[in-house]
Every structure is written in structure tokens, then in C-alpha cells.
Structure 1
Amino acid sequence: MADPSDAPHRLVAPAIVGRDGELRRAVDAVTAAPALVVVAGEAGIGKTRLVGELAAAAARSGRRPLLGRCHALREPFPLGPVIEAVRGLGDRLGELALSPVAGALRPFLPELAHVLPPAPDPLGDRAAERHRVFRGFVEVFAALGPSVLILEDLHWAEAQTGDFAGYLLAEALPELSVVVTYRPEAADPRVRALAAGLPSGTTLADVALTPLGPSEVGALAASIIGVDAVSEEFASYLSERTSGLPFAVEELVALLQERGTLVQRRGGGWARRALDELDVPTRIRDSVLERVARLGDPARRVVEAAAVLQVPVPLSLLVATAPLDRATALPAVGEALDSGVLAEHGDDIGFRHPLAAQAVHEDLAGPRRLLLHDRAATALAAAARAPAGQLAHHLRHADRRHEWVAAAERAAEQAFELSNDAEAVRILEDVLRHGPATPERRGRLAVLLGEAAIEAGRSQDAAGLLTAVLDEELPAPVRGELRFRLGGLLHDAGTELLRAHQLFADAVDDLDHRPDLKAWAMVVLGIPMAGDADPAEHRAWLQRALTVVPEIPDHAFQAFLLGKIAMVQVPTGDPAWRTTAERVEHQTGGEPRHRREINAYWSIGTQATYAGHHALADRLLTAGLTAAAGDDRARVETRMERSLRSGLVLLRYCQGSWDELADHAAVLMEELAGNPRARIDGEAAAACLTLARGDLDDAAAALTAAVDLVDELSGFDLLPIPAAALFRLAVARGEAGSVLGRADRLLAAAEPKGVLAPSVRALPAVAEALVAAGRSDDAERTVRRFAARLDGLDAPLAPAALAHADGFVRLGAGDPGGAATSFAAAARLYVPQRAPYEAAQARELAASTWLAAALPVRDAGSELLAALAAYRELGAEWDAGRATATARRHGLSVPARHRGGRRGYGSQLSPREREVAELAAKGRTNKEIAAELYLSVNTVARHITTSMRKLGVRSRAAIAHRLDQN
């Protein structure tokens, strides 16, 4: 059988990942000869790759690397790796100044006998002959000059190789460093003792390789694939499958590539597909099975039981599954542990990593597997607290199908309760496809699947199963819940919205037993997203929902639904939204705790941002993020937390709080690659910032992509923000006609649905584009129509935006005086709404119009310079350049840019980023850094991600090396 380190190592990853510190220590040691570097770690941990990098570094420093390896199948000759290393010198061996004792090496190096001194006379004593051979090899290494001898896989070394390594180290050759690698669990004691008793002055570096963490596994996978990053989900899952073993990561990713099961997602990220169906790579499987084959029969039975059990289990369960009597079991378990095939995990026993268990499991004959699963299921069922998921798994594979369905339902419920939604989905899909159950139970399972699938982001995958179950004869309450869940899946996926709304409407009459779902269905029906329903019909559904909400016993869910109701009321300008939002804040005391309360804050906060209620949005989104970040129930960052961060990025853009916002947005977009719904707000903000910074070509691409994404996700309440920026850019480039179609579609989406409060953000840009394209009459009709429809609505930006748009209409009508007056009025109206960017634009337009028309306005010049100052304060370089050019054209003296400080650090680390990076380089965790610097863990994570991007590294371990170079 072959071992992973037996065959030539297939180099899949172009760069070593996660081993910078270990490599640096090893390099430092070999450059301080005489030295010994001990590299220890289990199979597949990356010993070979590390010493390969070490050899390359030694060569660059002028030290000759010599590599020799031990092999599982030993040759009759002793000293195999030493011979291999010297043989690599070839005829250069003859260039060395060797004494006659080197002639003793002729029998070991027959192909190089012609360059060696003559063979000495026999000594007639085996111990003396061996000693002379040792001296001969030492002679060669001494004559080489600066060199590094690498002896790999000494756990397979025969006795003489171990003895020679100790002899060589005792000589302490001043220009020689020795590097040895081995597996601690399999190495001979004399190999493990090499570091003991080194001569004085010999440098020692003990490098124990441990599994990579999830972020490092992700970096390794990205390096193999050739992308900047992979999704967190993919990295975490890959880490779990391989236990962080680099060899296993490389093999699995290579297998994924060969099978075409890697799917590229938006933004360059990658996701997994069908990973559960992967076979164990051949070299890993062969290595594991070879080690198992060396065990005695009872120990093999223990290992087979452990493979079927998969996870570490108590000794009693392992023995019961085997099964073995106590007298036989204890020595057998001891043998399996001593061999390293199994390992102790606290009080439990199991494989070191899942791939090994899978290799053994797949090698079992079918009847043997079924029997072991049956024993495991019986033993687990008798336990006081049987793990539901394990029990369901074993019952299924024991072909105890009816028992499996019952256990699987309990396991799925437990998984869902613990927020392990993906596992719940996996269990439920399996049962619904393959398990025997009554229609009522299938309906109940499908309802739970629908709920879990939305939380797990698996809407499209589960919709087909729910549809099939819905065609069966179901009790009315189950039918109502299933219609509701299926409607939710379709709604969440953004597909078949008309069908989704019909499902919700049909569900209402069957949900009297569930006022929470009944009210929720009414809320969804009140959202103007699909069809051509009258806005009054949507409002009627919301009013019905408000009458049902008090019947809901769960106050957190009440807050959730009230948040959704307000979320619909805000963009329509319905003044009742304030009462609804106040109910949410009052009910939660201004501090949401439950995730549904946090969701309510996000729902209202994002819509408040779109509609221009900036102060309220700031309060709600900040409170929601604080609560989400402090939720100890699941410290893995949730989708809601990321959505809140994305919403805050957009809010900061709208408020003009742009300090380092581009960096924050870039980090967020990288983290949310492949999650368009969570990143939608941040992506819109990032695209708008690109335009404001003056990167016009990049801005055109980014804005187009953002508008397309928002349009694809039916985000017509967000659409006006990136669309307005895209329209402004088109006008500036003389391409107004190219965006008129988009402008028409924007208005056509917003007006029939009554979503006017956010839409006014785009009104000035639409008017400008229409006028620039020679459609001044259309611009006037559009603005007047909007003004009439906005009358009486709660739309805080409407007065300013209408005045802003009216300025363009008046310019198109040849009335520069009236236009400038409207622009100036708009500037004043934007200020109290905390919209400084729009205020500066309107102020610039007023001043430019006065100056261009030579109107006798005394303060025109100072108004233009005030707009310029506002642009500079924001960091809006594109607008500042335009205002500067206008000022100089009219003979105004433009103040020099303030050089006392800078608002951003470009590609350089900010002081805080460097402070965080230096602590990360010292091995501190994010939590430790956060505590030391009084930051949140999320802020630390953002600083580290930004630092890695700026430094051009892909792992935390590489930060230290790059910091030393900066």
C-alpha cells in the first residue's frame, strides 16, 4: 500500500499557506549552523512541502540542500536516505577534498565509485566497518561547505539511519545543518531523542506542524483554485472535512476540480457543490487501509466500528458496536490507539480525521456495514441521552426505515432549534425523498424543511420537494402552513412571485390556529413587489395584519412583524409608519435582544435610509448591529449581522460619513461574495463612492453592476441611489440618451406601487438626463407628476429633491435665474436632512448657473467655493475637480488643499490597522486583540482583512513577514 508521503508529492497549491512562522524559524535555524531542525507532524500535515520551501530558501542563501527520504518498503541496504542524499551530488562528489576514509563508501555508491578514493582494506569487524562508513559520510558532509542535509520520514528509518543521524549531530560540523521529519506516533524512540544531548553551540528548532485553521484552509483552497478568496462556507466545510490537513485539502480540491463540482459565484468567490458525495482520494485511502491491515483482528474490528460510528464516542459504545467482550476489547482498543489509527478525544475515542473514517467505512462489505450500523443504533437507542442525529443516521443505514423517520424528525427539530439550519435541511430532504411516512407526517416534515431552508439560504433546492408534498391529501392546518412556507421559499428566492403571493393568499384561511403565520402572510401580501395590484389593496392587507398581531403570544415575533409592516409603510410615505416604528422601539426598550427584534430594527432602518430618514436609520441600524454582534448564542457572524453592516455602509454614504468607508465597503464586499441579498446595500454604496472618488471607468462598471443586481433582486426601493449616480455619470460623459431607458423603467417600477419616498432620490438625475437628451417637456411632466403624488406623504427628501429637479426643468426652459433659485432652495432643504453630498451638488449648481449666466448675484463665487470645500471635506474628488475648474474659469481664487492630514491611507496601513496587524502577527486571536485595544471583534476582523489585502498576503501567519519588510 502507498502512503501519501511515499509517492512524489503532487504540488497543487502554488504557495505554502499557514506555515510562515514555522518556515521562518526553520530557515533562521539552518542559517545558524551547526543546527538541527526537527519537523514533526501526522501524515498529510505538510512536512514535505515545508522542507521543500526550506531547501529552496537554503539554496538562495548559498547553502547546498541534500535530500534523502526513508520509504515504507525498505531496501536491504541500510542508511537509505543518507545514501540518496549523497548520490544526488553525482560527479560533483569527485570535486571534494576527501580523505582515504571516504573510500569506505564505494559499496554504498557503486555508480560513483570512480570519483571516490580507493576502498580501504577490510577491518574484519562489523562494528568497526560500520563506524568507518559513518566516518566516510561525515567526511563528505564536512567537505561540502555550507549545506543542509534533509532526512525525510524517519519514522520508517531502520536502526542504522537513526544511529548515523545521532553520530552526525554529535560531530557538530560547523557548516552543516540537519533537518529531519517524522510522524511522532510512528517514529522509533532513537529518532524522537535526536534533539536530546546536542553539542553546545548547536542551534535547535523544534517545528511541530498542526492542522490549519478554517481561514488558512480557505486561503490554501483559493491558492489552488487560483482566486483571491473562497466563501467562508466553503472554507469552513473544507476545514471540517479535512481537519485542516493540507494534503487532504489539496487532494479534495483537486478532485473537485477534476469533477467540475466547483461553482463560481458573483464577485469571484467559490462555493461547494456535492461535497458530501466525494470519495476519499486514493492516496489517502490506501495509506489508511495499509495501517489498518497491520492491526490484529480484534483491533481491526474496533477500527471498523469506529468508522461506522464516524464521530468520537465513549469506549462503551465503541465496544458494544464492535462487539467485543471486555477482556478482548481493552487490548484491542489500546492497539488501535498505539498505532495512531484511532485517537483519544477527551473521554471519547475515534479517528483523527473524517477522511480516515470514510476510507475504512467505504472498504467494508455491505452486509458488514449494515450489521455494524444495526449494533450502533441499538446501543445508541438504549443510551439515556442518545444523540438524535447519530441515532437517525445508524437507523437509516441499518435499514430500520420507520424508526429512522421518527428519529430523523426529532434530529431535524433539534438541529433547527439549535440554529443548525443546514443540517436540518439535509436530514429533512433525505427523509422526504427516501423515507416512508404518512401524508400528515410528510406535510409536517415539509413545513419544517421550508422554515429551515429559508434560514439556510437553500430556498430553490427545497421548493420542489414542498410542491410535491403539497399535492398530497393534507389536513387543513398542515396545508395552510405548507402553503405559507412554500410561498416564503419562492418569495425569498425572488422567483415566481405571483405564485408566491397566491400561496400566501390561499394560506390565510387555513391559519387560524397560527396567528403569527396568518399575520405574516398578510404582511407579505401587503408588500408591493409582484403583479399590478392597487396600492390600496396592499394597504388593506397591512391593516388586517395589524389587527391580528396582538393575538400573537410571542412578543419578539410581534416586533418582527411590526418591523415588516413599517418596512412597507416607510417607502410608500404612509405617515402611519411612525406609530408602527414607535411600537417596535417601545416594545424592545430601544435595545433589541432576540434575532427577530434585531430583524425588525434592520427592516425599518434600511427603509429609513432609502427614504431619507437618516437619523432614525442610524439609531436603529446601530442598535441592531450592537445586539447582533453581542449575541453569545452563535458567535459565527449571522446573515442578519452582515446585512446590518451592509446597511450601515449605505447609510454612511448617504450621510456623507466617508472616512475610510471605501475600505470598509471593500472588506464587506469580499466577505459577502456570493451572498447578493446581504451585500446589496454595501455594493450600491461602494459603486457610488467609486464615482465620487473620480474613477470614472471603474465607476461606470461598478454602477452598472450594482444597478443590475438591485434590479435583479427587485430592490426598487434601493435602486434610486445607484441609478442616480449612473445617470449623473452618463450626463457628464455626454451619454444621457443611453440611460433614459433605465430611467423610464425605474419610474415605471416605483410609481404604480406607490414607492415614492425613496424614488425622489433619483428625480433630479432623471430630470437632468431628460433635459440633456433634449426632452425638457418630459422632464417637466415627470417632476410635476411626482410633486402631485408626493403631496401629503411622509417623504423627507421630497421638498429638496423636487426643488433640485425643478432647477434642471427651468434650465431646459431657458430660465437660468429661476433654475439657480431652485438649486439654492434645494441646497438649503438638504442640510437638515443630513444629505451633505446632495446639498453640495445643489449649491454648486446654483453658483455655476449664476456665474454662467452672469447674473448679478453677489455671493455666487463664495457659494461655489463653499460647495468645493464641502466636496473636499467629503472626499468627493470628481466633484471637487469639476467645481475647481468652474471656479478658475470664472477667475476665482481656489484655496489650496489642506495638507495637515489625510482622510485615508490608500494602500498604506492606517495606524490602527498596523496596531491590529502587529498583534495578529504575534499570534493573538481576534478576541484577544479586541480586548486589548477595546474594539469589537468585528472591527478587529475588518482591520485584519484590510491589512492582509494591503500587504498582499493571504494568511494571518504571513502578516509578520510582510510587516518586517514595510
Structure 2
Amino acid sequence: MLTSPARAARLVHRSEPSGRDVEFRLLRHALDRSLRGRGGVVALCGAVGTGRTELLHVFSEAAADHGVRVLSAAGSPLEKDFPFGIVHQLFQSAGLDAAADAEVAHLLDDGAGAPAGEGGPRLTPRALHGLCSLVLRLAERAPLLLAVDDRQDADVQSLEFLLYLVRRTRAARVLTVLSSRETMTPPNPFFEVELARQPHHERVRLGLLPAGLVSELLHERFGADAALRLTAETHALTGGNPLLVQALLEDQEPGGARQELVVGESYRRGLMNCLHRMDPLALRLARGVAVLGRPGEPELLAELLLLAPQSLSRASYLLHSAGLFHEGGFRHPTGGGDLLAAMKPEELAALHHRAAQLLRVSGASAARVAEQLRSAEGHVRAPWAAAAGATAGLGGTLEEMLSDCDPGGPGGTDRTGGPQGAAAPAGPDGWTQGWMAAVPSQRPPRPAGPGPVLPAVAGRSVPRAVPSSGFDPVPGPAAGAGPAGAPPEPAAVVLPWAAGPAWTPAPPAEEPVRIECVPWLPGTEAESAEAAARRELKAVRYLFWHGRVAEGTAALERFQAGQPAGAEPTGLRELRSWLGYWFRSLFPQPGPAAGTGTTDGLAVLGGLLAGLPAEESVLKAERILRDGRLGGGSVESLTSALTVLVYADRADRAARWCEPIAARTAAANCSSTWHALFSALRAEVALRQGDLRTAEEAARAAFARIRPEGWGVAVGYPLSTMISVRTALGRHEDAARYLALAVPAETFQTPAGLHYLYARGGHLLAVGRPEEALADFRACGELMARWDVDHLPGLVPWRVGAARAELALGRKGQAVALADRQLAAIGAAGHSRVRGMALRARAAAGEPAERTGLLERAVSALEDAGDSAQLAAALGELSATHRVQGELGLARSAERRARPGGLPSARPGGPRPLPAEPPADRPADRAVDLAGDRGPGRPAGPPEEGADRLSDAERRVAGLAAHGLTNREIARKLYITVSTVEQHLTRVYRKLGVRRRVDLRYSPYLGGELAG
């Protein structure tokens, strides 16, 4: 046995892992010091595939062969939430005698009585001291090596024990080696900081193998000649990643002269292994690069993947540091294809569609855009590529895109001889059809003749919007027409418009609009300047509504340049207000404006976004709602006024106005577009009031009135409501189906994009992907800061979502800071709903002693806000907190209030109590039908009538199961058998109508048993 320092030099004369002799020697020196009574801790880190696990295993075996007692453990993502998992593994591997084993079990069972934190129960100081003393006693008998692999996936409680231990082993014969994979952000920053502060701490990083070491491996395997020929190619394909090097060597046939490398199954499998073990955001970036098919486009990738620049940079670093990427792309072409092949078809198709949209907007060649559409074809019916000349972003199906676009690439010419994209090919009637893809850089002279006209480039027609049902093709060649099948040579083009009143941003569903390029013909009847101006401004609004921002901006600039000096045509101010709301980064508004006529509501909404006090905005908005009449431009004013109430965090007041406005709508016989807009707003109001059933019904009604392609950039509003409802009900597969639907890239330049990102972040957080959820929440924050609206948490309370995500990642300090910043930002009054949500997040992240007070304040705020879903959750958390503190009477009282019958009665026009499930009798394999009666997903069965009469025993078991405890842990906690636990859970599932353990967290019948 190695008990004297004199024998330390004899340690480990076996072979080290290939290429890791330097790192191996560092570990040997650390162990040498510990044998002399100078304990240490080594943080062994490296990228995925760099051999950390192999090095730790070989070193542990070598130490064990020389008399060192080895205690080993390994973290796992599947066991990260199991308290004391690493601690159990360490002592189970120690080969303890029966007495020591019983001592460990006693300390872990009886010592886990400290109040539960976010990560579960904590060890008491007595238990920590007892376990540490046991380790020190073992070290007196023989030197110890504590080897923990994949500590980034260790449970919080075990990390707490390890930190306690290393502080007390500085003068003991104990070496602790903690291996971890490099990640986007430290899973537990407090642990990392405290560990690095220890004076006996040492960090060893495993890098990639240099070309010289790769050559040595090839020499050992294939001989000197093959090593000379293949080293450069091997290093280029693997980047020196040991796992990939070994996999590539396995692909080569044994024996024989080797002229070139074979990239086979082992290499491809090794690459996929590395990619899927990386951080989710790094994997997301790799998929984005694979979809685009080429490296080095960071801005496009950031837009495609909705990643913040710093997240993109860090994810790129991880991929390069692991040797998987080189200069922004895969080292071998098969990497991207294999990665995409492993994705779900609907997710892959949605990514390809989004890439096509972004590429078109960025001016990429038609062939490249069409390639993306071809890759997605057949997977998802994309509303943005629905028909030739459709106005929703891409302008056609794959075949029509291929035929409509110029194959000549940038700088080429179309078949009519004009600038690329200026005209599309002739349609069957001999007239050009397509989208307006080019903007003239200079204004040509207007022709002589009456009536205002829009300028156009010679050889080019300007689109107009007409209802397809009323389209009447211009017959035959007219005066001035060119050859048959080609457009005439107009000097200028008028822009007729036939798409409803001024406030209508999108055509109603029964009148789908397409773009037609119509030539101006001599002798066309003149119209007044005012009428022409109105039509041109409608065209501008139409382009922006459908995400054609560059074209809309150019059209607006042309219109303004054509106006007399000092003149402001009717409708231009209204358009600016409208653009200031939808595209705030492009058209910033200086502050509140005293709008008149149709812009009253828009002016108040703009003022709220610009910093007008919320209460003042609410009073002005309610005056508009009270006095406004339906019809014409007043509809936009009324919808804007309702939006003011929602964003001012007064959804309770907005709910009161929904019924009166709905009644006035029915009496006034309003258009389908108004009904759709009002339904989308009503869905958002119901969602913020916790009325999930009404929210879903209203969102479906919105899609029934206007098809998804007609919603343009605003599609994010009703989609986000559907996603949030399904997430709140625990129907995550349904939510994922809605997320798979393509949305225009320009949506994320609008408030609708904020709603969509926030809803997606909530879904990702609910399905256990907090890193990606955090990226979405922070993207909301970045956009709100860029648009100068971060003072308005009622838009989306992104800090609350980010705090929940940080909490799920085990970073309580960041979660507390985010919740505190949100509370500080809203002040002492107003914003009751956001305040209640922030207080809930603060309570979950805070210390147990302050949790009761925080939750009581949250309950009070949410009662004022009228959000029954958030209120039920807060009451459930309060009940659970009382129960942990032994206050059973208070716990039962909060529990009763959390049930549907115990919530405050709905206000007039307000929400109903939180439903257990929406009405659903639809099959799970049904495709998403936004406008129909059936939706995706299969709900759990309905609860029995006795669901609200669970026995106390059933309720206790269900509550613990909802917290994630196993049946054995529940049995131990309640002093019953595992069989009894299983019987209770069977009855609970039947009574509540749920199928899975996770569904218990969403049951309103367990409010008092749930926390977090």
C-alpha cells in the first residue's frame, strides 16, 4: 500500500492515454502532493470528445493499483434532479464496511431535513459535518482519490457537499478531481467561483491534439509512409478531437497501403455523438449552419436561429474548441446532412422556410432561395409560399419561385432586359405576375397627362392589389404594348387599390389578395390627387403588413418625395403612427401625440410606448372605448385603445370592455377583418386573465376570419396565444406543432414577434430546455431595449421568464437579481399582474424564511389583476410553503382558495375559472387546423366528478409525485409501502383524468400541494 511519500515516485508507470502525457503528469504531481498530506482539488475540463472521461478512468485505475482508495461518481442529465445522487455514488464505490455504510445512510436520510430550496432538500450542517468526518477518517487509513466525472450534470446538493469537503481536506491525504465539459454558461456559478478561490485548487484543460500527435497515432496504426501521407488530411477532418481521430482510424481497412482516408460510419457516428452532447444552443447553431449550407454568415444565422450575438459567439466557440467546426462550418460535408436527417421533419421544414424568407430579404440569389424551399417541400404547408404572386412573403410555391426568379444571380438581368427582379415572367394571360422586388434609385420624369401617378422604371410594371375573386385580366395587347407575351412599355403606372377601408391592413379571408403588375395605359381616367394619395398610402401599409419592409420603405420615400413642399396628404400622419407601433425601430416616435379622428387610439398607444404614464393612458383609452363608434377608421382606434389596456397591465379592465364592444360589433355588422383583430385581442385578454378556454376559442376565431397568410407579420399574436394556452395545459406536443408553423422573418421586427418569442420561451422552459428558453426571454429584452419600450413590462414580462429559466438552470443568484430588477422597475403601484408574477419568481428563488411573505404579496397582487391561472399557482405555492412549515390550517385554507370554486368570481365580461382541460374530442394525429374546430393533440381523459374530493392520503402522494419524488422516496417520506404509493397514484390518475406524472403539475385540483 502506498503510505509513504518515498514510494510516490513509483506511481503510474503504465501507459497514459494517447496524447495526454502532459495532463497525466499534472494529475500525478497533484496526487504526489496529496500523499504528502497536502490535499488538493483539480478541475479537469475540456470540450466534448477531448478524452476527459478516459483520462480520469486511466488515472483512477493507476492510483488504485498503487494503494489509493478511489471513490468515483459521474453526473448525468437524467439524474441531475435527484438529490445527493453524486454523494450516494461516491460512498457506494468506496467499499465501506457495514457500520460505515449504515452511518452514511443514516446521515443522508436524517440529515436531509433542511428546508427545501429550488433544487430540493438540503443537508443539515450536522449531516455535512458527519459525512466530511467519515471521509477524513478513511483518509487516515489510506490515501483517497475522489473522482467525479461530468460534474456539470451533478445535482446541487452533491456540489454543496463537495464544496464543503474540499475546504476541509487541505491538510489531508485527499485529492479531488472534478471533470466537466465546457458549456455555454456555468451550470452553477457559485460553485465555480468558490472552487476557484481555494488555495489548493488547480485547473487542467484538455485541448485538441496537435498534428504531431495525430501523426504518431497514424504511425502506430499504419506505419511511417501512411502517417506522412495522411496526417494533414486526418487533422483537417478531425481538428485534433481525440474521439474523432479514433473514429476515423476505425473506418480504415486494416492492412494494405493507404492512399486516402475513408470517411465512414464510425466518423459520422462520432461526430453526431459529439454534437448531441453539446449545449442546446451550440447544437442549434450547428443545425443553422447545416440548413444554410455554408459557413461564415453570423448575422443571417442570428436572425435564422433568433440568437443574441453573444450567444452566437459563445456557441461558435464551443463548436470550434471541440474541433467540430473550422472557419464557421463543418469539417466534412456529411456532418451537416447527418445532423439535419436526425431532426423532426416539421422542425426541419420550418427552419428551411425561415431560411428562404431571410435569404430573399437579404438579396440572395433566386437559386439559393429556391434550394431552401425545395428542401422544405412536402413537410409543412407554408402560408408564405402559398401561390404565385401571394403577398405573404415568398410569393409562390417552389415551382413558381423557380420560374419567377432570375437564374442569373446578383447583378444579372431578367428576361425582359430590366434590372434583376424588376419583372417576373409572363403569366398565362400575357401579363407579368409576381412580386415587386426592385426599387428604382431615381425618380424618372412623370408623363404628361392628368392624374397623379407613381413613377416606374422603363420596362417595369408596379404591382397593385386586387381581390382575386374580382380580377379581370386586361384583354389582349393594348396601345403601347410590346410583343405578345411581354409587358407593354409604360412611361408610368397608376396604382389602383380595391382592398377595403383605410384601417384594413390585410384583406379579409373571403377576399384573398394577390399582386398583379398592371400597365398604365394612355387614356386612363384621371382621379383626384387626394384619392390617389390614399391609395398609394394603402399600398405602403399593405407592403409593411406582409413583411416587405424594404419595398414599403422605398414606396413611402417615393411618395413623400412626390409631394409638394410643406404639404401633408390626408392619411400620412395616421400611417406614421401605425408604422411607429408596428415597426418601432424603423419609425421611432418622439412621444405622445394629440391625435384626432382615426388616430386617437393609435396616438394613446404610441404615447404609452413612448413613456406616457400608464394610468393616464388607461383613462384616455377608456374614453375612446366609451365614446367611439364602430365603422371606418374608428375600428383601428378602438383596437389600439384595447391594446393600451393590455400593455398597461390592465387586462381586467380590457376584459370588461370586450362584451360591450362585441355587442356593438354585432349591431354594426362589421367586416371580417375587424372580427379577426378583435378576436385576437380578446384571446390575449383572456390569456392574461387565466381564462384558457376563452383564449383558445378567440384565437381560433381569429384564424377563422383571416387565414394565416392574411395575417402577415401580425400572425405572431394569435399564434402566441395558442402556444401559451397549450403550454399552460401541459399539452406540449400540441404547442410544438404550432411552433413548427412558419412565420415571416419580419415578424420579429414587430411587437407580435415579442409575444411569439415569449410564448416559445415559456414552452421551452416547460419541456425542460431552460437554456434555449433563456435565450428567447433575453431576446425579448434586447428587442424591447432597442425599441425603447423596456419600461413597459405589460408588453411581455421577459425578466420574469428569464428568472424562471435561470432558476431551472440552478442559478438562483441571477434569478433573484432579475426578479428584483423587475419589481424595482414597476415601482410601488400598478402592474399588478407583472408584480404578482415577479413575486412568485422571487419567492421560488429566495430563502425559505422569506417565501411566505413574498407569496402572500403575490396572491394579493394577482387578486387585483384578476389572473385566475397565476392566482391559483401562487395559492398552491403558498399552501405548500405553509405545509412545509407545519402550518396545516393555513395550508388547507390556501388550498381551498386555489381550487376553481374557491377563486374570486369572474367580473362582468371577465374570465371563467381555470379549466382542467379545454373541450376536446380530437385525435392526436390530426394536423394543425387553425381555423377549424379541431386542434392538434390528444388531451388526457376528463376528471371524474369526485376529482375535487381526493382523500388526504391521495393528495399528499400526488403532491410529492408532482414535485418529482420517486415512488420509493414518497414511501420513505410518508412511512408507507411502495405498493401503497402506486395504488394511491392509480386512483389519483383516474380521478384527475391524467396519464403521466408530469401532468399532475398542471392540475388545478392539486393547487395546495404544488410549488414551483
**TM-score interval for Structure 1 and Structure 2 normalised by the shorter chain:** 0.3 to 0.5
Name whichever structure is richer in helix by fraction: 1
Question: Which structure has the greater CA radius of gyration?
Answer: 1
**TM-score in terms of structure 1 length:** 0.43
